[in-house]
Amino acid sequence: MHNIAPPEDKLWIIPLGGLGEIGLNMMALHYGDDIIVIDAGLMFPDEEMLGVDIVVPDVTYLKENQARIKGLILTHGHEDHVGALPYLLKQLNPPIFGTQLTLGLIEGKLREHGLWNNTKLNVVKPRQILEFGSFKIEFIRVCHSIVDGVGLGISTPVGNIIHSGDFKLDQTPIDGQLTDLYKFAEYGERGVLALFSDSTNAAREGYTLSEREITQTFEDVFRSASGRIIAATFASNIHRIQQMVDTAKKANRRICLMGRSIVQNCSVALRLGYLDIPQGMQIEIKDIPNYPPEELLIITTGSQGEPMSALSRMAMNDHKQVKVGAGDTVIISAGVIPGNEKPISRIINHFFRRGAKVIYKEVSDIHVSGHACQEELKLLINLVRPQHFIPIHGEYHQMMHHCQLARKLNIPDENIILATDGDIIEFGRDTTAYIAGRIAAGRVFVDGKGVGDVGDVVLRDRQHLATDGMLVVIIGIDKQTGNIVSGPDIISRGFVYEDESQEFLAEAKQVIMELLDELEVESKTEWAVVKASIRSVLRKFISKRIARKPMVLPLIIEI
């Protein structure tokens, strides 16, 4: 059980996800009887998580302390920070706080899961200060690859904490809203006990380019394109979409939004005033044939090569309304999420085969990151001047690079904490900080409508089946005498091709028959013993004959 509280006058900060991984971002701050939670992100499965749709954090600690939770704070609207909300809200129902666009983007998600009417959403603005029991939180505007992102200045009884959120120091953002360096510096003047800072680009030298830097690339592409332009980007990157719209306007092109998430997010952004599409410029999918190719821009989903996305279907020539061919230009304006390299490469190859021109990050400046590089990370540390430094939001090597940056800026080794999910980072009034223990934390797999019913054992079985195949042995046994009435019949799936392996399978059947002949009558009526014996003898036989290790599933039918 984790229904516990920190010792008196101690603050616990517990990362529940996002440390040592990309995604799953979630953190709890616990003082006395008060808890605040920062973000509730998901993670997309890697290639080893066969059949898993998404991964969400284990919130056992929060469930066992739910009476203490004063609020859930969202730093921005990306899936790796808000995607786990529907699964969290089915177990807990804290009031949620976020900026206007962040809450607008989660509305559709909550409606889809039937949670909209029961969820308490509270809109906040940058520089607004709210109290949550022992905590006082100020929302600090930051630039990122999504509009309306914030960092957090958190006043606690033991000192000030800064949580950077996802950020970069864009000096020329599309909407003119700069990262509020003044506020970060102000906290630095007041004294900061600890800085929790985004590590995504900590291994990259220099500065992250401004979002505005790719405007010229868009203009060059639009100017040279003779046919349709099909542009894929993240549905949440409203600034990128706005740049496409502005460039299309200059080039006298109409816009068609395609893909559920793009349409939904743009609808929210238009309604809230974060996106501007001139009247009469947007057309419906059904109207595409009414316009010549040189007057069209299609903005679509699928920048990560998702199999059922509009872009993938176009690449496979499986899209009903859009058939891509010579003269068309395809723009993939997005970075590659680790693990998606192969599907994206496959899509690019398909478009080239169809005669289209393809523009992507490796050949053109068509994408910039939303995360700070080394010089920006160092600037934030120097502005905040924290006593303790804790890297967050990144894989282990990225967090390690961030620690090295902090050392170069004269933060002592003993004040740099490289934590992992589930660590209890304890802070005292004497400004000490150390890892005081652990709580159960980890990953919960979502497969279809099942949440948490697929565990490591199931995944190992799936990996075993995927790599080695399966043999099913079916035997009919008289439950009274133990005599074999039918079989053994062997069915192979993913192991050997039955039609071409009759001799091998016949030998396997003979091995099973010899085993059953040797078993005592009492053993034959104990199905668990029979199954274990069949499994053991078949594995040895197969390993010796062809050096493979399929999953062996004996199926005994009582007759």
CATH of the domain at 136: 3.60.15.10
pLDDT value of residue 163: 98
Residue range 169-213, pLDDT digits in tens: 999 999 999 999 999 999 999 999 999 999 999 999 999 999 998
Structure tokens at 521: 């009558």
Phi first, then psi: what are they for 334, rounded to 5°?
-165, 150
| % of the chain surpassing 70 pLDDT | 89
Give yes or no: residues 90 and 140 share one domain. yes
CATH number of the domain to which 270 belongs: 3.40.50.10710
φ/ψ of 425, rounded to 5, equals: -90, 115
Query: Is there a single domain that holds both residue 250 and residue 345?
Result: yes
What is the structure's pLDDT at 191? Answer: 97
Would 45 be classed as within a structural domain?
A: yes
Residues 140 and 39 in one domain: yes
Q: For a pLDDT cut of 90, what percent of the chain falls above it? A: 60
Instruction: Decide if 463 is inside a domain.
Output: no
Give me the pLDDT at residue 471, please.
Answer: 74
Tell whether 1 is covered by a domain: no
List, for residues 38-70, the tens digit of each pLDDT value. Answer: 999 998 765 554 455 678 898 999 999 999 999
Give every CB contact of residue 345 below 8 A, 6+ residues apart in sequence.
Answer: 305
Residues 49 and 190 in one domain: yes
In this prediction, residue 9 carries a pLDDT of: 92
Report DSSP letters for 7-50, one per residue: PTTEEEEEEEE-BSBSS--EEEEEETTEEEEE----B---TTST
82 neighbors 265 (Cβ within 8 angstroms): no
- In a shared domain, residues 221 and 286: yes
Q: Is residue 460 part of a domain?
A: no
- Residues 318-345 have a mean pLDDT of 87
Of the residues 39, 80, 198, 423, only one is catalytic, namely 198
4 is a domain residue: no
Binned at pLDDT 50, 70 and 90, residue 497 comes out as low
**Which of the residues 76, 144, 350, 371 is marked catalytic?**
371
pLDDT at 47: 58
Do the domain assignments include residue 464?
no
Residues 265 and 186 in one domain: no
Residues 27, 52 within the same domain = yes
CA–CA separation, 219 and 61 (whole Å): 51
Residues 276, 341: one domain? yes
pTM of the model: 0.81
Instruction: Encode pLDDT of 472-481 as tens digits.
Output: 778 777 766 6
| 327 and 378 fall within a common domain | no
Residue whose token pair is 């509730």: 40
Which pLDDT score, from 0 to 100, does residue 543 have?
A: 78
Q: Cα(first)–Cα(last) distance of the chain, in Å?
A: 47
Residue 459 makes CB contacts below 8 A (sequence gap 6+) with: 48, 49, 50, 52, 445
Query: For residue 315, what is the enclosing H or E element?
Result: helix 310-315
Total count of domains within the chain = 3
198 tagged catalytic: yes
Are both 163 and 258 inside the same structural domain?
A: no
Structure confidence at residue 231 (pLDDT): 95
Cβ count near 474 (within 10 Å): 15
Does residue 80 lie in a domain region? yes
pLDDT of res. 364: 76
Residues 320 and 379 in one domain: no
Average pLDDT, the chain: 87
pLDDT, residue 328, reads 94
Q: Is the pLDDT of residue 401 over 60?
A: yes
Per-residue pLDDT band for 537 (boundaries 50, 70, 90) equals confident
What is the Rg, in whole angstroms, of the alpha carbon atoms belonging to the chain?
A: 28
- Whole domain around residue 446: which residue ranges? 12-206+369-454
Which residue, of 454, 488, 514, is where some domain finishes? 454
DSSP three-state, residue 347 = helix
- Domain stops at, among 397, 419, 454: 454
Q: Does the structure show a pLDDT above 90 at 151?
A: yes
> β-pairing, 96-98 with 121-123?
parallel
- Secondary structure of 241-286 in the HEC alphabet? HHHHHHHHHHCCCEEEEECHHHHHHHHHHHHHCCCCCCCCCECCHH
pLDDT tops 60 at residue 369: yes
Decide which of 359, 379, 398 is a domain's last residue: 359
Determine whether 371 is an active site residue.
Answer: yes
Indicate whether 217 and 187 sit together in one domain.
no
